[in-house]
Amino acid sequence: MTGGRRKGTDTRRRATDLDAGRGVERQVAALTLAGLLFLGATMGLLNLLVDGVLREGTSRWVYGGTMLLLMALAAWLGVFRRVGRWETFGLVLLGDLVYVVIALCIEDPVRYATPLMLLFPAFVAAWFLGPGMLGVNMAAIVLACLLGMWGSYDDPLALAVQVAVNSGILNAAAAGVHVLRRRVQRLLEATRALSHQDPLTGLANRRVLVEQAPRVWRQARREGSQVVAMVLDLDHFKQLNDAHGHAAGDAVLQAVAASLAASVRPNDVLARTGGEEMIVLGLVGDPVEARRLAERLRGAVAASRSGGGHTVTASIGVALTRPVDGEDAAAAMWRLVDRADGAMYEAKQAGRDRVAAVLPRQRTARRHDSVPPPSRAAG
């Protein structure tokens, strides 16, 4: 049950990160669309100054009004800097429609209103939209090419060939951009996961501890809780590696990580900081609760067993602090971890496979660089 809650918490954290990433992407999409709309409208207005390009009469007013509409949309996007997927989809289809309107307002669409104008909506759809919406836009591009070039060819076969060639090139380019976008996105997601995750155990790493520290400190101040840091170091791990090989040691680390992940509370941060050392960061009401949690983790380590049947114990150091306003959360966290690290060595010296704790101490807030203390070898 605890493991399920832990997975749910990790999922919520990933969802929060994903929402933040999507917010940035929406801003990029809005500014990109604004730039393309403004550029296209500016270039289009130049046609009003060239004789013989536009049809006379109502067509000139329709054409000019369309360009002004595009500029207004560009200004709106530039001010609000936010556009969702459906809004982007609507603007893409509007771009296809604008091409048709321009082609119908121009004397010689083949010369002055080339279907290459559809590259703008095609590439925006390929980069910012999903496969379904992209497929709809591909069909819209075929229809737009047909309507825009309808009056330029008397021969139906010639018209069909031109529509097929132009729409085919546009859609092939859009498909290529979409595939590239998906590949880049997968690479970015993999890089983001590697930067936040220990590759062997799947646990969080030091970077996650630094990123989560401000959240933990805010929550502690809000709830009046204390922050607890627990440093776990596996006992005699070097001897296990020497006797059975590093593959066996890796299997033990993975088994211990899985057992700990199923034992920590949903809001605790569990991270591997190097070698056989792991850190748990969380909130407690008093030292008794902190020691109880540490004993539960010690038992989880002792109960873990690798596929090869190897077991291990852990010495755990516990330190608590009560956050104060104005301190650097990351720097304060590493100071707390350093105290827990000292307590862990006391547990080692007392016989291993036990918990040692240091009580909170009064201190004033100071700002320090959020650089973790150097690790010390332990067995």
Residues with a catalytic annotation lie at: 276
Helix H or strand E encompassing 231: strand 226-234
Q: Within 10 Å of residue 142's Cβ, how many Cβ atoms? A: 17
CA neighbours closer than 13 Å in the CB half-sphere of residue 133: 20
CA separation for the pair 259, 253 (Å, rounded): 10
Owner of token pair 């130049």: 46
CA separation for the pair 264, 286 (Å, rounded): 17
Write the CB contacts of 54 (distance below 8 Å, at least 6 apart in sequence).
Answer: 47, 48, 60, 63, 105, 106, 107
Cα 40 to Cα 69, 102, 319, distances in angstroms: 11, 12, 62
- Complete DSSP assignment for 130-188: -HHHHHHHHHHHHHHHHHHHGGG-SSHHHHHHHHHHHHHHHHHHHHHHHHHHHHHHHHH
CA separation for the pair 122, 273 (Å, rounded): 46
Give Cα 333 to chain centroid, integer Å. 24
318 backbone dihedrals φ, ψ, rounded to 5°: -125, 135
Work out the burial of residue 250: count CB atoms within 10 Å of its CB; fewer than 13 is exposed, 13-18 middle, 19 or more buried: middle
CA dihedral of residues 164, 168, 170, 174 (deg, nearest 10): 150
**Do the Cβ atoms of 274 and 378 come closer than 8 Å?**
no
**Do the Cβ atoms of 343 and 291 come closer than 8 Å?**
no
Q: State the maximum Cα–Cα separation within the chain, in Å, rounded to a whole number.
A: 96
Using alpha carbons, select from 202, 196, 212 the residue that is nearest to residue 262: 202
